[in-house]
Amino acid sequence: MSLTPQDPHLALKSNSEDDEISLIDIVNFFQGSWKKLAVASFLGATLGLGGWFLFGSYTAEYALINNASNASNASSYALDIISWKFLQKSLPNLAAQIVENNQVPQGDLSLYKTLENDAWWQKNITPSYAISKADVKDLAGIGKDLDSATTTILNLSITTSGSDKEQSIHNARSVGQFIRTGGAYLQLQNLLNRYQGETISSVASLQKQITSTQIEMAYQAERVRQLENLHKRFPANGTAVQQVVDAKDSGAKYLPIQTQIIAANNDINQSKENLKRLSERLRQLDVLKQFLERALPLLDKSADGLALGNQLLAIEGDLYEGLSRDDATGHEALEDLRAQLMQINARFSNGLQANTLPTANKKGMIKITAAGLFIAFALMLAFLLGQKLLNTIRGL
């Protein structure tokens, strides 16, 4: 018997055909396994839906209306884009400070720890502008009258979550209240810090100016005395002239003595006026210093800006009543302070208000159910393929 050598190309083709998986094999695989895949998918979808019912969180939506005392004036709105950006960066730090100082409202500890995250504010607090970016493209040819509208905030949309409907609504209201109280606190803090810096830096400068003015007045008085002595010695040179000449020019010394005396006395009067103004400003700073001595300790006791504003107004009123009726300078300083305190208080109490109640619902049912179905289907498919591969290996 003779052996015929086998063609190597035919052998390679035979091995390649054995390794290929035909479409019929795939169809047969799913025909034999579709029931198992269907049952697994159904169980996965059921588990996903059950998990959504048991563990899914509620989402609440809440809107704070940015009211304006004058709709035609953007500066009359409670918040503009600059003040909102400031609050967006500062409120997380304030929340962390409240947690650290154990000043968190009862039951809101986990919420305030969430508010410490900058990314949360970017994601869950959305300002709505009078004109959106898409509107700007459509209205670009109208004119520049709409420029301010693109930065005018109409409302702040707040989105919060909770384990149940009541909790999500409570969280939304708590965040809205924190924006109002925290925003008022931060602006009051800035106001008090500005006054504190002014009282520290300005007092020394004012005292220096007062001393310099007093020294200059002494020189001016001596100049008047010398001019009056000259006038007594040369009375014939006392005729005044009608020509207008600055008494401080180099040629002023050649003016009639009487004219020089009048100019020197005017300089003294001007110095007296300046000295009185400086003294009155020093008096105002002294009144503000008394206010700060009582106001600054309150910053560490509470971060509720609305309550703090009322306390500061009470301190201002107490100081105002303690001033004498003739102390117009002190009254002016406190009246200016009161106007700023009331402006901040009105901005965050009446300026930011909610015209509607928060709404809450449970979202994500379809997404979670589909995820459960897909995961169960994929796991069962991987199991069946692994089982078929193992049986193939055993049959070799």
143-186: pLDDT as tens digits: 555 555 556 788 889 888 877 788 888 999 999 999 999 999 99
What is the distance between the alpha carbons of residues 117 and 94, in angstroms, rounded to a whole number? 11
List, for residues 238-272, the tens digit of each pLDDT value: 555 444 445 555 556 667 778 888 888 888 899 89
Asked if residue 61 lies in contact with residue 172, where contact means CB atoms within 8 angstroms, the answer is yes
Determine the Cα–Cα distance for residues 299 and 388; give it in Å rounded to an integer: 72
One-letter identity of residue 245: V
Q: What is the pLDDT of residue 177?
A: 92
* Main-chain dihedrals φ then ψ at residue 307, nearest 5 degrees: -65, -40
Look at domain 57-183+353-362 and name its CATH class. alpha beta
- pLDDT > 80? residue 325: yes
pLDDT at 250: 53
Phi, psi at 50, each rounded to 5°: -65, -40
Over residues 59-112, the pLDDT tens digits come to 888 888 888 655 545 556 778 888 889 899 999 999 999 999 998 888 889 999
pLDDT in tens, 265-305: 888 899 899 989 988 888 989 999 999 999 999 998 989 99
| CA–CA separation, 220 and 269 (whole Å) | 10
Tokens for 176, please give them. 């809205």
Domain extents in the chain = 57-183+353-362, 187-349
For residue 77, count other CB atoms closer than 10 A to its CB. 21
- Paired tokens of 23: 């479409």
CB 52 within 8 A of CB 377: no
| Span 2-41, pLDDT tens digits | 444 444 444 434 444 444 556 776 777 777 777 777 777 7
> Which residues share a beta bridge with 161?
59
Euclidean distance between the first and final Cα of the chain, in Å? 31
List, in order, residues 6 or more apart from 183 with CB less than 8 Å away: 79, 87, 91, 305, 348, 352
Average pLDDT value over all residues in the chain? 79
Contacts of 153 (CB under 8 A, 6+ apart): 66, 77, 79, 80, 81, 84, 127, 128, 129, 130
The reported pLDDT for the residue numbered 233 is 79
Residue 340 has pLDDT above 90, yes or no: yes
Work out the average pLDDT over 321-346.
91
Q: What distances in angstroms separate CA 269 from CA 129, 213, 226, 264, 276, one per listed residue?
A: 56, 12, 17, 9, 11
Predicted local distance difference test score (pLDDT) of residue 204: 83
Residue 22's pLDDT is what? 65
What pLDDT was estimated at residue 13?
A: 44
